[in-house]
Structure 1
Amino acid sequence: MNPSRLARIGASCWILAAPLFLAANVLTALRWHNPAFSWATHNISDLGNVHCGIWDTTRPRNVCSPWHPLMNTAILATAALLAAGLVLTWRALGHGVVVRLAQSLLLLAVLGYALAGAYPADVDENLHVLGAVLILVVGNLGLPIAGLAPRTTTLGRYRVLTLSAGLIALAGSVLFFAQQGLGLGVGAMERVAAFPFSVWASCVGVALLAGARTPGPARP
């Protein structure tokens, strides 16, 4: 069944989410000079920190992000795009307990993006950490659950993609919270945990729009 007009708008929002989030990470990181940004050492949150200085007592890092407004605005925009995609494709992705549970958990992860963007870590650490937990724990549980959606649903058609993204993200979360970088660095492991959701959403958005353009069977 082809998605509705609203679902196609939602799919378009999803397509934009990952490119926006990734571009903001890259552009903001490129503006770091003293110190230079390290993808292995620095966290995503460091890009949004408002003040310069040594940050984090557990794993101290020298942080100074001149373009932090760009990063925080992009995180909020990513949250808006992911939220719009979820809401507008809500019915199109299918019905049933598994589908609705996955969608609800992913919607909570979107709230996490909004909190992380609105409250940089060095402005309100508690709300920022809550946002990170919603993204890296709640959202990364929602993805593999979405991968268990019945194959009779639209969401279930993307099982391999969804389970792959979910398991990678969940493993990244476990390793990040354990502060294990596996040779990549703890900062890089956070990206393994955080990026799959938006990348998955963009891929599903492409698939939904491609399905909408595929002509159905000719009527007799």
Structure 2
Amino acid sequence: MNLNRTGRVGALCWLAAAPIFLVASLITGLRWREPAYSWATHNISDLGNAHCGIWDTTRPRYVCSPWHPLMNTATLATAVLLAAGLLLTWRILGHGPVVRTAQTLLLLATGGYALVALHPADIDENLHVLGAVLIMGMGNIGLLLAGFAPRGTTLGRWRRLTLTAGLIALAGTTLFAAQQGLAIGVGGMERVAVLPFPLWACALGVLLAEAPPLRDLALPAST
């Protein structure tokens, strides 16, 4: 397999998305004071809340995220990079109904990232929840479906990686919806549901970026 310039840019977009999201989560969480941010108790969305106060009737907790603009900006950047990666690698990953449906569902998930970034939970909970449903619902179904891409396609070459990511994501989504944190807390379980897609995209970006560009292919010598 080899990439044209468009595909290589798409791979680089995918490669950058997860690190931006994770670094912003870490920095924003470390800026919390009294109480400190808990990766097991607090949701990812708590990092983006614009106001301080008790939040959530299901699991009441105090939320105060002074660097929420950083988190929301990084989440929006993640949405743009994931969407760009999908669109720029659209034809490269393969064809057929399975691949196209998976790509469409994953593209909907990138819209979910944009929604949760632009509408923090304490500003517009309905749109924020819709974004979360797109990420953990449509996106994770799309990720699992991508694992069934035909082996003859580019996407099908990494079936084991994709299926593993999709199964983990859907298991995390199911347990998070049931508010079951097991040993890592409900907040930790939310990360199991959310992170497989951007981490998978990052891994795929690395694999695609390692492919030789079209201009590097040697032409047969004329005789």
Aligned to 1:12: 12
2:212 partner SS: helix
Structure 1 residue 57: deviation in Å?
0.4
Greater shift, 205-214 or 127-136, is seen at 205-214
Aligned to 2:126: 126
Provide the identity percentage.
68
Give distance in 1, aligned partners of 2:48 and 2:112.
15
1:54 partner SS: strand
Residue identity opposite 1:204 in structure 2: L
Residue identity opposite 1:201 in structure 2: A
Structure 1 residue 183: deviation in Å?
1.5
Give distance in 2, aligned partners of 1:47 and 1:175.
21
State whether residues 4 and 92 of structure 1, in contact with CA within 8 Å, keep that contact through their aligned partners in structure 2: no
Deviations 1:134-162, CA, capped at 9 Å, x for gaps: 00011000001000000100000110110
Give distance in 2, aligned partners of 1:163 and 1:216.
31
Query: TM-score w.r.t. structure 1 length?
Result: 0.97
Aligned to 2:191: 191
Aligned to 2:181: 181
Structure 1 residue 50: deviation in Å?
0.3
Aligned to 1:94: 94
Residue identity opposite 1:5 in structure 2: R
Unaligned runs of 5+ residues in structure 2 are none
Give distance in 2, aligned partners of 1:189 and 1:109.
18
Deviations 1:175-202, CA, capped at 9 Å, x for gaps: 0000000111000000000001000001
Residue identity opposite 1:6 in structure 2: T
Aligned to 2:159: 159
Give distance in 2, aligned partners of 1:94 and 1:137.
23
Over aligned residues, Cα RMSD in angstroms?
Answer: 1.3
Aligned to 1:21: 21
Structure 1 residue 4: deviation in Å?
1.5
2:139 partner SS: helix
Structure 1 residue 219: deviation in Å?
3.6
State whether residues 52 and 65 of structure 2, in contact with CA within 8 Å, keep that contact through their aligned partners in structure 1: yes
Give distance in 1, aligned partners of 2:219 and 2:157.
23
Give distance in 2, aligned partners of 1:24 and 1:115.
17
1:209 aligns with 2:201: no
State whether residues 172 and 193 of structure 1, in contact with CA within 8 Å, keep that contact through their aligned partners in structure 2: yes
Deviations 1:5-64, CA, capped at 9 Å, x for gaps: 101000000000010010011000000012100000000000000000000001101100
Give distance in 2, aligned partners of 1:157 and 1:212.
16
Unaligned runs of 5+ residues in structure 1 are none
Pairing of 1:15-94 with structure 2 (within 5 A): 15-94=15-94
Structure 1 residue 217: deviation in Å?
7.5
Q: Which runs of 4+ in 1 moved over 2 A?
A: 212-220
Structure 1 residue 212: deviation in Å?
2.5
1:22 partner SS: helix
Give distance in 2, aligned partners of 1:207 and 1:135.
23
Deviations 1:153-174, CA, capped at 9 Å, x for gaps: 0000110110011100000000
2:71 partner SS: helix
